[in-house]
Amino acid sequence: ILNVEQSPQSLHVQEGDSTNFTCSFPSSNFYALHWYRWETAKSPEALFVMTLNGDEKKKGRISATLNTKEGYSYLYIKGSQPEDSATYLCALHTGGFKTIFGAGTRLFVKA
């Protein structure tokens, strides 16, 4: 059974801090890696879909990198703001019509 791991489970930072967290996955059968932001009482929102080893994507203050050979992706948030408080989910696509989600990293940004 394929497993996607995210660390840390939760993270508390001060406003203005930069932070990063990790998604680890088995590198075999890799097709794509998704990142989502999930705010409380809302639905998960797509951030990035990454496919190529060495890929780096950016959306405002959020960026992500991908290493398919060693099986990990980092998500970075520069200058965290309270509105960045959310759960960040990664999901592995190994082909077919589904993804396998990690448990998420819960980020709390204190003003």
Q: Which residues bind another protein (CB under 8 A)?
A: 31-32, 34, 36, 42-49, 51, 89, 91, 93, 95-104
How many Å apart are CA 82 and CA 35, to the nearest integer?
A: 19
Taking the complex as a whole, the smallest distance from the CB of residue 81 to another protein amounts, in Å, to 21
**Per 3-state DSSP, what percentage of the chain is helix, strand, and coil (rounded to 5)?**
5, 55, 45
Shortest Å, Cβ 103 to another protein: 5
Please state, in angstroms and rounded to a whole number, the distance separating the CA atoms of residues 14 and 109: 5
Looking at the DSSP bridge assignments, the partners of residue 48 are: 35
H or E stretch covering 106: strand 105-110
The nearer residue to another protein, 44 or 71, going by C-beta atoms, is: 44
What residue has token string 């990454």?
50
Question: Six-digit token pair at 104?
Answer: 């998420």
Nearer to another protein, 25 or 48 (CB): 48
- What does the block give as tokens for 42? 């809302």
Q: Minimum distance from CB of 48 to another protein (Å)?
A: 8
Q: Closest separation between CB of residue 29 and another protein, Å?
A: 12
Select 80 or 99, whichever has its Cβ closest to another protein: 99
Q: Which is nearer to another protein, 2 or 18 (CB)?
A: 2
